[in-house]
Amino acid sequence: MTRADEVVFRPVFGGNAFEETFARLLQAVRLGITAPGEALPSERDLASRLGVSRDVVRDAIAALADAGFVERRRGRYGGTFVLQDLTGAAPPAPERDAERVHDVLALRRVLEEGAVAEAAARTLAAEDRDRLWSRTLETAAAGTADYRRADSRLHLALGELAGVPSLLPLLADARDRVNALLDEIPLLEANLAHSNAQHEAIVQAVLRGDPGAARRAMREHLDGTAALLHAFLD
């Protein structure tokens, strides 16, 4: 095992196991640690080395396959193989200033963590609570074609409940900039399911009036999105 191999396949920490696992596997492919035509380590080996369940590894590999980076082969000589030709994989992102990407994600983190903490600290009217939960259900039910719109509406609804009118234009602008980055990467079904679970954790913390839990849940959620963006765009 090489040093680079050890670094890429080091244990995953935090609550975004799928996103971090996907990012590590994509990094292994993009850096050539697992070269075109070669097989990734087995699911069992990856689960052990990354410290995640085999289900998480399996979902991450399925997402890599859907994005066109690997193919799974069955049989005696089966496994997950890096494709020789990656021209059909996720489209290359245009050159961008890495500092600007960092700025967008850092600004979003500051604004949205603060917004949900403020929302959780307020006494919300019944209609506000109902509207927030409706947005949550709407996002969970959205298909890939409508997910980005529903997701944006939910995040902006959370910001609105902070009760700081001048915050909303900042949140909307930051969200628009983030969506421009998200539009450059594929939607991953496993990530959407995970995001919906995180959305529910955020909303539940707001509804029960727990600012600390709301902030932590939002941070974990945004960290997962950032991991995917960095995996594809860095």
d(CA 213, CA 27): 31
Has residue 155 got a pLDDT over 60? yes
- Look up the CATH number of domain 98-233: 1.20.120.530
Has residue 65 got a pLDDT over 80? yes
Which pLDDT tens digit goes with each residue over 172-187?
Answer: 889 888 988 998 888 8
The residue extents of the domains of the chain are: 3-82, 98-233
Domain 3-82 matching CATH 1.10.3720.10: the answer reads no
* Band of residue 21 on the pLDDT scale cut at 50, 70, 90: very high
Which pLDDT tens digit goes with each residue over 73-97?
Answer: 988 878 999 997 665 566 655 556 7
Predicted model pTM:
0.76
Mean pLDDT of the region 138-142: 94
Mean pLDDT of the region 48-55: 95
Has residue 101 got a pLDDT over 60? yes
